Amino acid sequence: MSIRSLRPTPFSDDRSHPHVHVATGEDPYSNTREVLSQIDLAAVNGKRVLLKPNAGRIATANSGITTHPQVVAAALDAFLEAGASVAVGESPITGVRTIEALEATGIASVARERNCPLIDMDARQPVHMIIEDGVALQSLAVCPEVLEYDVVVSIPVMKTHMHTVVTLAVKNMKGCLWRRTKVDLHMLPPIEDMNDKPLNIAIADMASVLRPHLSIIDGTTGMEGLGPSAGQAKKLDLVVAGIEPFAVDAVACTLMGLHAEDVPHLRICAERGYGVIDIARIQVNPARWHDFLSPFERPPEYLSIQFPGITILDEMSCSACQSTVLVFLKRFRKLIFDSFPGQEKVTIAIGKGHQSVPCGTICIGNCTAQHKQQGVFVPGCPPVATQILEMISETEPEVNETKLEADVPKRPSHPPTAMKEAKS
């Protein structure tokens, strides 16, 4: 079955001058109830509401990686009191089980307390959405619940992102794509006569047919720098909400010290007429909302890990694999050479675009499986940092030494580790 759009929104707003609400304080539950109290939720009475938090990874509350459970708890209570039937659903990154992720962040607990269903949105077969005017994409494989519920609420964390500058309400809907089709957006070829990354064009294509009816951005603890999962947690203690997702994202960007016009997927969406990101046209409450601004450290233009002896070969990887390698090297880089005694250089490969890799390479992730005979292969999409350490620790040193010694004389010397951006 193929369809072309979500159910029509039950909410109304001034589309040319949309409203966005901001609340700040030490209690994320109170902040969320405050912003939602300024939105007329009567329209959800008798309707089915699906809350889509960011729970795509195994992480705890206040990590800055996943949505705070008290923000979800407040949203559940607000919609239940408005007479809606409410559920919480997620489709996490490949390799993560939905319910385990919801349990880890504490969202499962607050949902159970309210007898609200938890939905593994990958459990059923997808529905295909047609994108009639798509540039990078012509269709999407979407988790069916997103199309069955009357109202979809995006509840992301306020984060920077290594490939898309930020990940907020609009991009959070990428977590509604079925299973590993999410990864496909990272693997698109360049678009002729367009300078933007295919990933950002694809997110804009997605937003033409798949956008939330209401957005709540969790700024309790955000993430700056190498988001979405390898950056630094940043405490803000605020929540942003509104009906128009592009306006909500634009206000969040401003609070992060960024301009929405500098976020490619938001700029493309605005240029196509999907929504408003011009702050001058957005009605923000309270009037002193600028007082809450706290600049985020931006993701670096080029990812780099300064660790002599480690070379990263990155060809068409996604942010999940890049984050895994970054976390692994941050936590365990001093232990790597214990598995390769006598060696001065170690090579790591990620991504599906490698024609070949040197002998002795640590091949990380399923995309490198075709080269697993070259050295150490760590399966997963992506594997976690501890899995990588376990795999290289189990490797027989003399085998790897022989492979590396055979390869090193043939290769030029390398500067400190450099991981370039995925070509997508």
Q: Per residue in 306-362, pLDDT tens?
A: 567 888 888 878 777 877 888 788 788 878 888 888 788 889 999 888 999 999 899
The pLDDT of residue 303 is above 80: no
Whether pTM > 0.85 for this model: the answer is no
For 90, which DSSP code? E
Q: Are strands 127-130 and 139-142 parallel, antiparallel or unpaired?
A: antiparallel
- Give the model's confidence band at 423: pLDDT under 50 very low, under 70 low, under 90 confident, else very high: very low
225's tokens: 């720098």
Q: Could you tell me what percent of the chain has a pLDDT over 90?
A: 67
254's tokens: 């401003």
Between 52 and 61, the higher pLDDT residue: 52
Q: What angle do CA 193, 195, 198 make, to 5 degrees?
A: 95
Residue 284 and residue 20 in contact, taking contact as beta carbons nearer than 8 Å: yes
- Give the model's confidence band at 100: pLDDT under 50 very low, under 70 low, under 90 confident, else very high: very high
**Residues 240-278: tens digit of each pLDDT:** 999 999 999 999 999 999 999 999 999 999 999 999 999
Closest-CA residue to 36 (of 248, 184, 292): 248
**Residues 3-51: tens digit of each pLDDT:** 777 889 999 999 999 999 999 999 999 999 999 999 999 999 999 999 9
Residue 49 and residue 80 in contact, taking contact as beta carbons nearer than 8 Å: no
Supply the pLDDT for residue 342. Answer: 77
The pLDDT of residue 67 is above 60: yes
Supply the pLDDT for residue 304. Answer: 53
Coil, strand, or helix at residue 348? strand
Count of alpha carbons within 13 angstroms of residue 107, beta-carbon side: 33
What does the alpha-carbon distance between residue 47 and residue 88 come to, in Å, rounded to a whole number? 14
Q: Could you tell me what percent of the chain has a pLDDT over 70?
A: 91
Residue 65 and residue 40 in contact, taking contact as beta carbons nearer than 8 Å: no
The average confidence (pLDDT) of the chain is 88
Coil, strand, or helix at residue 159? strand
What does the alpha-carbon distance between residue 313 and residue 316 come to, in Å, rounded to a whole number? 10
Q: 98 Cβ partners below 8 Å, 6+ apart?
A: 55, 90, 91, 92, 118, 119, 120, 121, 122
What does the alpha-carbon distance between residue 164 and residue 298 come to, in Å, rounded to a whole number? 11
Give the relative orientation of helices 264-271 and 245-255 as an angle to the nearest 10 degrees.
140
